[in-house]
Amino acid sequence: MANRSSLHWMSQDLPFHLAVAQAVSKDPRYQPLAYEFVRDALHVAVKHFREGKEDQHVSGQEVLEGVRLHALEEYGPMALTVLNEWGLERGEDIGNIVYNLIDTGYFGKNDGDSLEDFSGGYDFETAFTAPFKPSSKSQKV
C-alpha cells in the first residue's frame, strides 16, 4: 500500500527568505538556493500527483519525484552538478531541507510523516545522468 504521509505549505505568515535564513543558520549544509529549489519541486509534486484533488498533501517519495522532474526540466544534463553544488546528493538531503522548513513553520506535516519517508527512492547519479546518455544502439554511418 502507498505511503500516506504528506507534506504541505503551513504558514505564509513567515516570508520564505526568513524561513530559509533561519534554516541555514541552524543547518548550514545546504545552500539557500537548494531551499528554493525544494520548495519549487514540492509545487511540481503537488501539481503532478494532486492536481484537481482536494487533498494537496504529498508524500516524501512524491516530493522526490517532484525533485527529479523539476531538476531535469530546469537544468537538463547539468542537474546532478547543480544539485551537488547545493549539497543535494541523495533523498535524505531533500528530507533534511523539508524538515528544516517544517522546523521554521513554513511547511507543515501530518502525524505519520517522518524524515525516513525520504530514504531510498532513486540514486541521484543515475536519475540525473541516465536520461542524457547515448543509447547503446550502434549507429550506422
Task: Spell out the domain ranges in the chain.
Answer: 23-129
pLDDT reading at 114 higher than 60: yes
Residue 51 binned pLDDT confidence (cut-offs 50, 70, 90): confident
Residues above pLDDT 90, as percent of the chain = 74
pLDDT reading at 86 higher than 50: yes
Residues above pLDDT 70, as percent of the chain = 88
- Which distant-in-sequence residues (6+ apart) come within 8 Å of 123 by Cβ? none
What would the mean pLDDT of 32-57 be, rounded to a whole number? 93
Please report the pLDDT score of residue 55 as a whole number.
79
Identify the residue with better confidence: 22 or 57. 22
Element (H, E) at 7: strand 7-9
**pLDDT digit string, tens, across residues 5-16:** 345 555 557 899
Name the residue type at position 87: G
pTM score, two decimals?
0.87
pLDDT reading at 2 higher than 60: no
pLDDT reading at 131 higher than 90: yes
pLDDT reading at 1 higher than 50: no
Please report the pLDDT score of residue 5 as a whole number.
38
**pLDDT digit string, tens, across residues 19-30:** 999 999 999 999
Q: Could you write out the DSSP letters of every residue in 67-108?
A: HHHHHHHHHGGGHHHHHHHTT--SHHHHHHHHHHHHHHTSEE
